Amino acid sequence: MIKITNPVTMPTPAELPPTGTANTSAAATSFADQLATVGENSSSSSAPQQDSFLQYFLGAASTTTPAAAAPSATALVESAAASAPTTMAAPSPSANAAPQETPAYTISSTPPYFTPAPDQYVTVTPTSGMTPFQADSMDSYMQKFIGQSVSDMYGFINGTQSWANGGASAITDNFVSMVQQRITAYPSMGEGIDPVAMGTQYANAFMNVLSGVPVSQFGATNFTGSVLDFLNQGGSPAPTVLNQAPTVMNAVNA
């Protein structure tokens, strides 16, 4: 069973990288190459005890008064009124007392374009009888891939990230494939996850990033649309020589 724990920095065991539909070339960064680096950590620490993350935040005064020896009729009325329950307005809850939601990823039209949410880890139970270990949750895994991919936004224009050529259909297919292949490698990670739904969800997030970045951000061009628009029209083939300028950046009216 998958248990989500607080972020703990530790080495992430090698995972099988999913294969994308990338074109290969000497100058191209393939889809599979990027997947192989997703979720790597450089620092290490021992596995946390899950119950060590629980914290609980937990006064009554009593007074007595001597009874009157012989209360008058007026005193009895006053006593009854004093003992009646009093309804008081409940204090407004403090904003600081409200539970804090885990911050979500953020999207921008300028670098870094996409910032993943804080790391989340799950315990993976290998089918081979190996010792369970921690790895990026599926959400963290997908978000880190997006962050790494869009850090080279120009690669979607010059063809070094040609796996996204074709736009929405190619991108969605690759993201669904990523989820499916990771679940194949670690079946316990797939509990409660619909690969198609999750792959499509993050494909849409990825395309949301690309749709907010104009191609003109990278230089003079006649193309007036976004990076996603350019990919939907076919994108650029993988370059055959180093620093080859894509055609879309050369087609400028004099």
User: Given pLDDT bands bounded at 50, 70 and 90, which one contains residue 166?
Assistant: very high
Burial of 215 (0-12, 13-18, 19+ CB in 10 A): buried
Pull the structure tokens for residue 200.
């499509």
Is residue 242 scored above 70 in pLDDT? yes
Is residue 18 scored above 50 in pLDDT? no
Pull the structure tokens for residue 123.
């315990």
Q: According to the model, what pLDDT value does residue 35 have?
A: 57
* C-alpha–C-alpha distance, residues 196 and 99, integer Å: 31
* C-alpha–C-alpha distance, residues 175 and 167, integer Å: 12
Q: Tell me the average pLDDT across 36-46.
A: 47
pTM for the whole structure: 0.61
Residue with tokens 């224009």: 157
DSSP state of 187: G
Q: According to the model, what pLDDT value does residue 243 have?
A: 79
* Chain segment 2-17, per-residue pLDDT in tens: 444 444 444 444 444 4
